[in-house]
Amino acid sequence: MIASDPARSTPGRPRIAMVGAGPGGLSAAMLLAHAGADVTIHEARPRVGGRTRRTQVGDFSFDTGPTFFMMPWVLEEIFSACGRRLADHADLHRLDPMYRLLIGRPGQDPLRIDATQDVDRMAETLEAIEPGDGEAFRRFMADNRRKLELMTPLLRRPIRSPLDLVNLDTLKVGPLLKPWQSVHGNLSGYFRNEHVRLALSFQSKYLGMSPFDCPGLFSILPFIEYEYGVWHPKGGCNALMDAMAEVFVDLGGTIRLDDAVEAIEFEGSRATGLRSKSGQHRYDEVVVNADATWAMKNLIPSGLRRKWSDRKIDSKKYSCSTFMLYLGLEGEVDLPHHAIYTSRTYRENLEDIGAGRLTEDASTYVHNPSRIDPSLAPDGDSSLYVLVPTPHDGGAIDWDTAGPALRESTLDKLGDVFGIPDVRDRIRAEKMVTPADWRDERINLGATFNLAHGLDQMLHRRPQHELEDVEGVWLVGGGTHPGSGLPVIFLSSQITSGLLCERHGLPEPCAWRPVADAIGAV
């Protein structure tokens, strides 16, 4: 897989370093290599994927981070631009139900909703919960269909200053955004029932945010699920990373694994290369796919960062983190592919996360892929991925003590709430990850979803694709525009690679198509 001679240099081809082999780095590297650049990826870990890599615990395999795959046409665009078909490299399965929601209620059993992409069935389910909310769901879908259509141009191009927002596209979408509304506030204009609102707002957690704080424009997240579906790639989302790495190398690219980058090197304010575990390397451009704020603080000298000083980085708002259990269980687990429990005291749980506290009854997510994908566990057994949203590691929680205690309460919840019998007796393999462990993976504060996505940290207020103050340093991934989540990370790779190709006179790497045309190619 590493292939291609890393010592080669072809005259006339820009030499580009990619720091990190996460989804943004791999997809941008594919596009740049196909366009004619000489690209080398330096990855700190012994396998590709970043937070989307595979975790192996004994005979059991797990996605490390993302498990939801949506908007597959965005990745199809990237493969198509490189002369490939995504279907030849990945086996995608549409899920129905997309997930099971278990909505906690004080003094009652959780309300169970099996979310389906079948809009008629979903409307009937919501109507049974609250008369009128079924028809409101249809209206919500129609309104957000238009909102996504109008927002798409803003998600697909660089937003470097307020001037980039002064155009016809922004004027069209502006009246629909209602910047004063949160996601919860937006949904309150449609749905009467608080549980229904929660069922259509928990997706804010994909950005590491509370629906009571997350900007209302992100109501497009549940819409995208119901409109276009939730998918499982065989082998997990990490299999997509392996597919991209394979194509990149086939295009002539080089991947250096177990080669952590220690510094970006400069002459004046111009990047000239980098220093990694394997030595010094000269490049024309350096693209950073590491955690953006960690990389700025640790790879770029502070004297070169006027706009992004350490003080400014530390003053920013960050997403929550996650507590993880990767469990290899004996026998099968009677749960759908995705199951999500929301706390009985949901608002208080979110407030605790923001205040740096743990909640007794925490919201919890369970991924049970081996039910449909036997490649992830020994025959008849289950690979169970369990996630609890928590405060990031910038507070006073001692995870050496809190981690084992949270493990015990989470195992209790797997039995009491998710209905998995005898969990402790069935564990054959286990790995626990706390926010402190995420921090040790070079993630600033262990905030697994990067910078928070409030309006004060979006668009031109996020770190730029071409990083300010220095020359030759670029960003790709969740730390830059348009933000976190696999689909928009792939969009960021299209933007960054496009700007680099424009800079070096290379062919446009990826021309986007209308959604309907792109979906037909998947």
Answer for the pair 323, 387: CB distance below 8 angstroms, yes or no: yes
Angle value at C-alpha 26, between 458 and 495, nearest 5 degrees: 40
Examine the pLDDT at 156 and tell me if it is beyond 90: no
Helices 119-129 and 133-155, packing angle to 10 deg: 130
pLDDT attached to residue 171: 54
Pick from 242, 292, 301: which is nearest to 457 by CA?
292
pLDDT attached to residue 11: 56
Contacts of residue 205, Cβ cutoff 8 Å, sequence gap at least 6: 320, 363, 389
334-348: average pLDDT: 96
Q: pLDDT tens-digit profile of 16-26? A: 999 999 999 99
Answer for the pair 465, 472: CB distance below 8 angstroms, yes or no: no
pLDDT attached to residue 514: 47
Examine the pLDDT at 397 and tell me if it is beyond 60: yes
Examine the pLDDT at 164 and tell me if it is beyond 70: no
Enter the pTM of the model. Answer: 0.93
Q: pLDDT tens-digit profile of 469-515? A: 999 999 999 999 888 889 999 999 999 999 999 999 999 887 655 44
Instruction: Provide the percentage of residues in the chain whose pLDDT is more than 70.
Output: 91
Examine the pLDDT at 33 and tell me if it is beyond 50: yes
How many Å apart are CA 270 and CA 454, to the nearest integer? 32
DSSP at 483: -
Examine the pLDDT at 206 and tell me if it is beyond 60: yes
How many Å apart are CA 162 and CA 211, to the nearest integer? 26
**Regarding predicted confidence, which is higher, 175 or 269?**
269
Strand order in the sheet with 270-276: 261-267, 270-276, 279-282
Residue that is written with structure tokens 């980098």 in the block: 274
Residues 451, 453, 454, 457, CA torsion sign: positive
Q: pLDDT tens-digit profile of 76-111? A: 999 999 999 999 999 999 999 999 999 999 999 999
How many Å apart are CA 499 and CA 501, to the nearest integer? 5
pLDDT attached to residue 208: 79
**Regarding predicted confidence, which is higher, 215 or 444?**
444
Question: Minimum mean pLDDT among 19-23, 288-292, 451-455: which range?
Answer: 451-455
**Regarding predicted confidence, which is higher, 168 or 425?**
425
Question: What would the two tokens of residue 81 be?
Answer: 């631009």
Confidence of residue 458 (pLDDT cuts 50, 70, 90): confident
47-74: average pLDDT: 96
434-455: average pLDDT: 93
- The overall average pLDDT reported for the chain is 91
pLDDT attached to residue 8: 44
Domains and CATH numbers, the chain: 15-93+234-316+450-521 (3.50.50.60), 118-219 (1.10.405), 320-444 (3.30.519)
pLDDT attached to residue 7: 42
Examine the pLDDT at 276 and tell me if it is beyond 60: yes
Indicate the helix (H) or strand (E) that contains 18. strand 15-19
Pick from 92, 91, 86, 83: which is nearest to 250 by CA?
83
pLDDT attached to residue 395: 83
Query: Radius of gyration of the chain from Cα atoms?
Result: 22
Question: Minimum mean pLDDT among 29-33, 146-150, 424-428: which range?
Answer: 146-150
Confidence of residue 167 (pLDDT cuts 50, 70, 90): low
pLDDT attached to residue 197: 95
**Regarding predicted confidence, which is higher, 517 or 131?**
131
Examine the pLDDT at 517 and tell me if it is beyond 60: no
